[in-house]
Amino acid sequence: KRRDAATAAVESVGGSMDAMYYSFGDADVVGICDFPDAASAAAVSMMINSSGMVKVSLSPLLTVEEIDAAASKTPAYRAPGS
């Protein structure tokens, strides 16, 4: 039932539930989902969190290629006070 409800919420914004696991530690349940965009993921998180029954935390996953692309960029940044 819980997986079905979570899957329905994810699919309602165009996402897919790739896997759902129960775990020991900081999170009791871990869902691996694919969303079309960050706003869709946030919408599901806000909707589920608004129930007050559970707490959803989002942890975007990046591919090796995405990290390589990020590492090749040099953002303009100057530390405060430097």
Residue 8: predicted pLDDT: 96
Is residue 10 a contact partner of residue 33, using CB atoms and an 8 Å limit? Answer: yes
Per residue in 3-61, pLDDT (tens digit) is: 999 999 999 999 999 999 999 988 889 999 999 999 999 999 999 999 998 889 999 99
| Element of type H or E holding 18 | strand 16-22
Residue 1: predicted pLDDT: 87
The pLDDT-based confidence of 63 (bands split at 50, 70, 90) is: very high
Residue 25: predicted pLDDT: 86
